[in-house]
Amino acid sequence: MAQEVTVGVGGAAGDGIDKTGDTFARAYARLGLHMYAYNSYQSVIRGGHIWLRIRAAEEKVYSPGDQLNAMIALNQDTIDQHAAEVNEHGVIIYNGDKLHVDESVFKPGVRAVPIPIKDLMKTVADRYGVRLDTVMQNTVLLGALIWLLQLDLETLNKMYEEIFARKGQAVISQNVDLALAGYEYAKANHPAMDYRWTYSRKSRPVLTGNETIGIGALMAGCRFYSAYPMTPASSLLHFMASHAAEYGVCVKQAEDELAVVNMAIGAGHVGVRAMCGTSGGGYALMTEAIGMAGMAEVPVVILEVQRGGPSTGLPTKTEQGDLNQVFGASQGEYPRMIVAPADLVDTYNTTVEAFQMAEKYQLPVTIISDLLLSEHNETADPEAFDFNVTIDRGELAEPNENGNGEYKRYLVTESGISPRSLPGDAGNMFVGASDEHDERSILISDVYTDPLMRIKMMQKRMRKLEGLLRNLPAPTLHGPADADITFISWGSTQGVIWDAIALLAQEGIKTNNLQIKYLVPFHTDEVATILNSCKLKVLVEQNFTGQLGRHIRAETGISPDATILKYDGEPMEPLYIVNHVKEILNGTSRNGR
């Protein structure tokens, strides 16, 4: 069987957990292993409890999983909270000078691996004649883990060369020697675990969802990005700012989300491919302006990365609770697109598509993600990304050199798409108003009203959705067509569902997955046909009320037979789904929470 391991790293904010996990994850990737990591962090700079899980395997993995084979504990709190979670024959690695374990809570065969951090670090420090920072204990413990998991130490050393290149050879050598000290001590005192890895050595990047969204935006020609820092969308702001000069992107950190979205709409209005990003609280401030983009037919892309709510809620935890809010953005009815990507490659493709559809159909597009999808680290195959993007600006009006004032910005057409002129085009002056207007953009909402024109303009705008829907691929089933259970999902839950499908198959339970990506416009007929053919429909969401289920019921009249819901802020795990499926089949539960 293919090898797989899940490692937990725990400590407090400021203990260097993120750097430790990043180093380990990238070492995995360099060996050609697949990796998926999730960091459960708190909204503090120092202290609190931080828990990072890294899952690696010779074959593709789709979620953080639910196994724990090894643990690095950087403080006592981590041992107290997570020692009992380590699976049989696993290991717990820790600073033996300061921490202690209660082996009575261990599962059978779990081994405590105390490392004499003080002595090992002193040896290396004396060699270089320096005083080493206590955070460098992480490097010693990581070296010990490399031995226990039978991984390649040299690959880890190469990672230190890259990570600390700017700090000079002395820092690189100190870290290499510290890792070696931990490795050699563990080798001399603790038997290795039973792992026999096969390394493909295929180089895969380690990326987050926000990074792939940013790459997609750059490849799609985004040249304006605005945001106000708000977890978990903030890292996209950092990404765009760091690449702004290279790609010619104007990046603006505004004073609030009202300014953010209006800046992006303004950029879209003048012909710049524009995007803004936020989380639920910021999106709440943006909603009126998004409606204005629909009325003025301005292309703009908005990223909404969900976290736990309501209000400030759980600012550093994941959830799928904003779907109702995104549906209800702004007053009235207007054409828009709402799309929910599911994985790293999908976030890239979705972002490229969002820019293309926004300009082609002249409307706002909301990409709805969540903390898990946007912030987790994962390996991805480079060939899965298509960087040859042909930019489609949609229907553009020809400049009118005569300037006779006949340009109709909102010309009524069969497709609903009016040829767009950009400010500065000769002779094509127009008003892009937030009020209702006629074809020449003259207002009909004030002194002169025109009910018939209102009907024409409303119908014209909404006709765009018919063409847009035809451009979007309908959902299909993942898994056996004759499955006993169909999981219905959206967004980041796809990965954990796919892992659960594999586990259930081992127990003889056939399941498949209907993943809904395009929420507006909606493939009503196709979804209804699929669901009517399913034996048992189980809705899987990370919220309390099953918001996707309500949307599907509104669009198709079909309700799920059972639900599996989770809203504690932490990602779903495969066994969480498996256990609830068994309860559903046994008739003991229909609404799993």
Confidence of residue 189 (pLDDT cuts 50, 70, 90): very high
Side-chain half-sphere CA neighbours of 305 within 13 A:
31
CATH number at residue 54: 3.40.920.10
Give the per-residue pLDDT at 383.
Answer: 95
Q: Is residue 220 part of a domain?
A: yes
Smallest CA-to-CA distance from 462 within 346, 238, 295 is with 295
Q: Kindly report the average pLDDT of the chain as a whole number.
A: 95
Cβ neighbours for 383, distance < 8 A, ≥ 6 positions apart: none
Question: 148-152, 192-196, 403-407, 564-568: which range is least confident on average?
Answer: 403-407
Measured CA to CA, the distance from residue 589 to residue 567 in angstroms comes to 18
Q: pLDDT by residue (tens digit) across 92-131?
A: 999 999 999 999 999 999 999 999 999 999 999 999 999 9
**Phi and psi, residue 141, nearest 5°:** -65, -35
Using the 3D structure, point to which of 384, 403, 424 is the last residue of a domain: 384
Is the pLDDT reported for residue 405 higher than 70? Answer: no
Measured CA to CA, the distance from residue 258 to residue 283 in angstroms comes to 9
Instruction: Establish whether the linkage from the previous residue to 423 is cis, with ω within 30° of 0.
Output: no
Its domain, for residue 271, covers 206-384
Q: Is residue 393 part of a domain?
A: no
**Phi and psi, residue 147, nearest 5°:** -65, -50
Do residues 256 and 309 share a domain?
A: yes
Strands 224-227, 250-253: pairing is parallel
**Phi and psi, residue 179, nearest 5°:** -60, -40
Q: Is residue 392 part of a domain?
A: no
Give the per-residue pLDDT at 567.
Answer: 97
Where does 11-102 have alpha helices with state H? Answer: 17-30, 76-82
Q: What is the pTM of this model?
A: 0.95
* Burial annotation 444-477 (CB, 10 A radius, 16+ → b, else e): beeeeebeebeeebeebbebbbebbbeebeebeb
Residue with tokens 């700012």: 241
Measured CA to CA, the distance from residue 217 to residue 233 in angstroms comes to 14
Q: pLDDT by residue (tens digit) across 336-385?
A: 999 999 999 999 999 999 999 999 999 999 999 999 999 999 999 999 99
Do residues 166 and 49 share a domain?
A: yes
Q: pLDDT by residue (tens digit) across 210-265?
A: 999 999 999 999 999 999 999 999 999 999 999 999 999 999 999 999 999 999 99
List residues bridging with 437 in a β-sheet. 443
Do residues 166 and 211 share a domain?
A: no
DSSP character string of 549-581: HHHHHHHHS---SEEEE--SSSPP-HHHHHHHH
Question: 33-37, 359-363, 432-436, 538-542: which range is least confident on average?
Answer: 432-436
Using the 3D structure, point to which of 384, 413, 438 is the last residue of a domain: 384
Give the per-residue pLDDT at 2.
Answer: 72
Q: Tell me what the mean pLDDT of segment 270-292 comes to.
A: 97
Q: What percent of the chain has pLDDT over 90?
A: 88
Q: Tell me what the mean pLDDT of segment 491-504 comes to.
A: 98
Q: pLDDT by residue (tens digit) across 28-74?
A: 899 999 999 999 988 877 778 999 999 999 999 999 999 899 999 99
Do residues 53 and 125 share a domain?
A: yes
Give the per-residue pLDDT at 404.
Answer: 65
Neighbours of 109 (CB within 10 A): 11
Number of domains comprising the chain:
3
Amino acid sitting at position 220? A
Give the per-residue pLDDT at 432.
Answer: 87
Q: Is residue 396 part of a domain?
A: no
Do residues 182 and 231 share a domain?
A: no
Do residues 52 and 147 share a domain?
A: yes
Do residues 212 and 129 share a domain?
A: no
Q: Is residue 406 part of a domain?
A: no
Q: Which residue has the higher pLDDT, 277 or 449?
A: 277
Contact 366, 302 (CB under 8 A): yes
Do residues 337 and 228 share a domain?
A: yes
Q: Is residue 283 part of a domain?
A: yes
